[in-house]
Structures are given as C-alpha cells and as structure tokens.
Amino acid sequence: MKQSSHEITFQTTGASLLNVTGPIQDWIGSQDIKNGLLTIFIKHTSASLTIQENADPDVLYDLNNFFGKLVPENALLYRHNAEGADDMPAHIKSALTQTQLSIPIRNNDLNMGIWQGIYIFEHRAHAHKRTLVLHILGE
C-alpha cells in the first residue's frame, strides 16, 4: 500500500462554484498509485466542497442562488459578523455542505461520472485563497 499527499491553493472570485477537477486530476496522474482512494479536504470554515454537474453552468448558478436564499445575509439574524454581513452566512453554508470528499481512483483517474466535477463552493462575497489537502492511498 502506498500513499501520497499534496496541498494545492486556488483563488476564488467570490460567492460561486469553482471547478477544480483538472488540477486534482493532473496531480493524481503524476502519482505512482493506479488504484485507491482520494480524500480531498478544504482547510476553511467559510467555503466547502461539492461534486456537481460539470456540463450546464445553470446548475451552478441555481445552486449558488438557492443557498443565498436559504441562508440570507441579514445582520439582524446573527451575532457573529466580525468580517461583514456574509461572515456568519458563509459559516452556516459550510456547515450544511461538506469539507471533505472521498473519490475512488481507478487507472490513475478519478472514477466519477461523465457529468461530475469537483468544486470549491465559495460562500464569501469576495475573492479568497482556498487551500485543499489531497491524500491518496492505494496501489
């Protein structure tokens, strides 16, 4: 059994979903592990990870729009607003989603569906640098 880990940082553009599949796949392809399990962890409390459709951008728009309505920016609703009106809503959105994904690896490739992509779900209104920890275990 072999294992390898790596950190990769991405620049987001504010509240949106950023497709990070390509750089993750590039790293997997460079590893000497053909089959195994990839764990991806985001090192933040105001952004999350999701696997979503990678073909129709309306899916990403609708998802982001829905979360904006589900968890509104309203200073009267929250005590924690140290970094602005989007601060606590971003933490709630992160708690409702995922900070870690597990994806099988087969033949040095992400074993996902044809329409699936890996996304950083940025919950803050402004751009941020987001770091992912990648860890692969396998043979």
SS3 48: strand
Banded pLDDT at 49 (limits 50, 70, 90): very high
Whether pLDDT at 36 is above 90:
yes
Which CATH superfamily does the domain covering 2-138 fall into? YjbQ-like (2.60.120.460)
Compute the Cα dihedral for 125, 96, 50, 139 and give only its sign. positive
pLDDT digits (tens, 9 = 90+) for 99-135: 999 999 999 999 999 999 999 999 999 999 999 999 9
Confidence of residue 54 (pLDDT cuts 50, 70, 90): very high
The pLDDT of residue 75 is above 90: no
Q: What is the largest CA-CA distance in the chain?
A: 53
Q: Is the pLDDT of residue 6 over 90?
A: yes
Q: Could you list the beta-strand ranges (E) of the chain.
A: 2-11, 16-19, 36-42, 47-53, 100-106, 109-110, 116-122, 129-138
Q: Burial of 89 by CB count in 10 Å (0-12 exposed, 13-18 middle, 19+ buried)?
A: buried
Segments making up each domain of the chain, as ranges: 2-138
52: confidence class by pLDDT, cuts 50, 70, 90:
very high
- Distance, in Å, from the CA atom of 73 to the CA atom of 139, rounded to the nearest integer, reads 46
The helix/strand/coil state of 110 is strand
Specify the pLDDT at position 92. 97
What is the model's pTM?
A: 0.96
